[in-house]
Structure 1
Amino acid sequence: MKAIVYSSAGSRDVLEFVDRQVPEPGPGEVRIRVVISGVNQADWKSRQFGHRNGALMFPEVIPHHDGSGVIDAVGEGVDRDRLGQRVWIWEAAWHRPHGTAAEYVVVPSRQAVPLPADVSFEVGASLGIPAIAAHRCLLAVQNGPDRLGPGALAGRTVLVAGGAGAVGHAAIQLGTWSGATMIATVSSPEKAALARAAGAAHTVDYRSDTVVADIRTVAPGGVDLIVELAPSMNVDTDLEVLAPNGTVAAYGTESDGKLTIPTRLVVGRNVRYQFVLVLTMPAADKDLAVADLSDAAAAGVLAVGEEAGLPLRRFPLERTGDAHDAVQAGVVGKVLIDIG
């Protein structure tokens, strides 16, 4: 099979386009013929900085956690009815050497999730880490629901920082599906249009001197939840627009960022900070997210493409280095690798 591999941490130059043996599924595993591989920030960071103290956990790594494809082999203990099933893949490369940047990948059966016939492989490959992070952030709202779905967040106002990014896009879609009023901060009219296409009721330019007043105009009593990409940079704005008993769910970190919180203020207002890293979330929370995301995808909620607010940036497998560069540079939209 064709695959992208690297055997040392470093720049894109460590990536190689090679032939490797097709892997065989072990007990409880399935093998997927990959159609599309999804690229995330974690993928280029693992390649550049290694897995632990600058070193790799394995002699050779095939990158990428997310993707979509068709199950073509099953291991012992897996129902053979899964053969031929269209699936989306999550966390393929977490504590495993082989991710989705290859023609075939083997994962535990639970990490290959059925994809309805009317949901595209593009949608499937765009779920995974970004959508699970968005789900976790939305459920962090204080006194909130146990699941997402129609009406689950009715009456809540949610601010999404960076509404044109992959996590922000999924948060807007899932929040709107669940009945919340969604506000997105953006940096340009073009990104505002994308956030509105995803379902945001309001957009605000976060570079404006009036950003706090603009958000308070939409939410006079403050917002119940902030889905935050840059918690250190935005702490002052966040605390000015957050309602009492509100929550900041932070899924991103800035380089060398240090979060300084005025404790008297946040204690007095019962403010909660919830930090989110999908890879280290409890397994039960991941499974819950996957179940809700499957329902949302089946309901047509998680569409992708420019008309849905998430432009697709596509590359062939041999140009995976260019795809990594695009994600690292902050390209607007979802970066996908076409494989099958």
Structure 2
Amino acid sequence: MKAIVYEQTGDPSVLKLVDRPVPEPGAGEVLVRLAVAGVNPTDFKARRQWPLPAGWQTPGQDGAGVVEAVGEGVDQGLIGERVWVWEAAWQRPWGTAAEYTVVPVRQAVRLGAAPFDLGACLGIPFLTAHRCLTVGEYMPEKLHAGALSDHVVLVQGGAGAVGNAAIQLARWADARVIATVSSPQKAQLAAAAGASFVVDYREQDVVEEVRKIAPEGVHTIVEVSPARNAAIDVQLLRPGGAVCVYADDGGDEVTLPIRPLMVPNARWQFVLVYTEPAVAKARAVRDVSAAVAQGAVRVGADAGLPLHHHPLAETAVAHQAVEDSLVGKALLITGEQ
């Protein structure tokens, strides 16, 4: 099979297209013939600094394709099923930037008739967004239609992949969603994703505009840039509200005022999908799958997430684009659609 491999950490030049034997699924595993793989910021961060326990790594956590074979103890009926894959490369060498990958069976989730492009976009962004929308003091453990009907959600950075996922999931759950963006183009993307209100933080006062919409404050803030936005977030939480931090764009340290957060019993929750509690991740996989089955989530420009397709041989180009803050989603075409 064709696969992208790197044997040392570094810039995109370490990524090489090679021929590798198709892996055999072990007990409890499935072999997936991939059609599309997603590229996330975590992929280039891993390529630059994560250790290589196997001495090599195929990058890519997310993808979609068809189950080709199953290991011992796995239902043979899964063979031929269309699936989406999550966390393929977390502490494992077989990522999704390849024609095949092998993962534990729970990490290959039935996709039904949904497009492979959608399946390849689900993993990291949607599971992260789900955690941000369910971990607050007054947020539900599970998402479904109506679960957030009396909630206001603020998505800081509504044009990114996680921001897009948070908007779509929150709207599916009937929240009022406010998104912040940095340009008119990104405002159009956030609105296409389903944001009820969009604030251009370069042109408008975020606190003033959000308070007009939600005078009592917001229940949850999905936060991409805590170092930049902390002072804003503190002013916008309602009592018991939560700021859910999933990235460190703009700085890796944040300073918080104690009393203004203590009085309303506010929460700052840090979110990393890989290490979140297993039960929370299982709920996220189930709920995201339900949203897909109900047609509640989409990808593409008309859903606020433009897609940029690259052949497998151009994985380095896709990695560089994501590292350069690509607007939209980079996908690798790894096999037949």
What TM-score, normalized by structure 2, do the two folds share?
0.98
Which residue of structure 2 lines up, in the alignment, with residue 34 of structure 1? 34
Question: Distance between the aligned counterparts of 1:278 and 1:141, measured in 2?
Answer: 15
Matches of 1:34 and 1:13 in 2, distance apart? 23
Does the 8 Å CA contact 2:151/2:219 hold for their aligned counterparts?
A: yes
For the 8 Å contact 2:138–2:241, the answer to whether it is kept is no
* Per-residue deviation, residues 209-254 of structure 1 (Å, max 9, x unmatched): 5221111111111111100001111000111122122110110113
Matched, 1:17 2:17: yes
Instruction: Please list, as runs of the form range in 1=range in 2, the aligned pairs for 1:57-206 lying within 5 A after superposition.
Output: 57-117=53-113, 119-206=114-201
Report the 3-state secondary structure (helix = DSSP H, G, I; strand = E; otherwise coil) of the residue aligned with 2:68.
strand
Unaligned runs of 5+ in 1: none
Give the aligned residue type for 1:46: A
Aligned counterpart, 1:338: 333
Q: Which residue of 2 aligns with 1:50?
A: 50
Equivalence for 2:8: 8
- Counting only pairs closer than 5 Å after superposition, residues 306-325 of structure 1 correspond to structure 2 as 306-325=301-320
Q: Is the 8 A contact 2:155 2:179 kept in 1?
A: yes
SS where residue 9 of structure 1 aligns? coil
Q: CA deviation at 1:282?
A: 1.6
- The TM-score with structure 1 as length reference comes to 0.97
- Distance across 2 between alignment mates of 1:246 and 1:281: 20
Distance (Å, rounded) in 2 between the aligned partners of 1:189 and 1:141? 30
Q: Which runs of 5+ in 2 are unaligned?
A: none
The answer as to 2:249 corresponding to 1:254 is: yes
The sequence identity of aligned pairs, in percent, is: 53
Shift of 1:3: 0.5
Which amino acid counterpart does residue 118 of structure 2 have in structure 1?
Answer: V
Is residue 6–residue 16 contact of structure 2 (8 Å, CA) maintained in 1?
yes
Deviation at 1:290, TM superposition (A): 0.2
1-side partners of 2:272 and 2:53: how far apart?
Answer: 19
C-alpha separation between the residues in 1 aligned to 2:250 and 2:187?
A: 26
Offset at 1:289?
0.3
Instruction: Give runs of ≥4 in structure 1 deviating > 3 Å.
Output: none
Partner of 2:215: 220
Taking the aligned partners of 1:92 and 1:73, their CA distance within structure 2 comes to 16
Compute the displacement of 1:50 (Å): 2.5
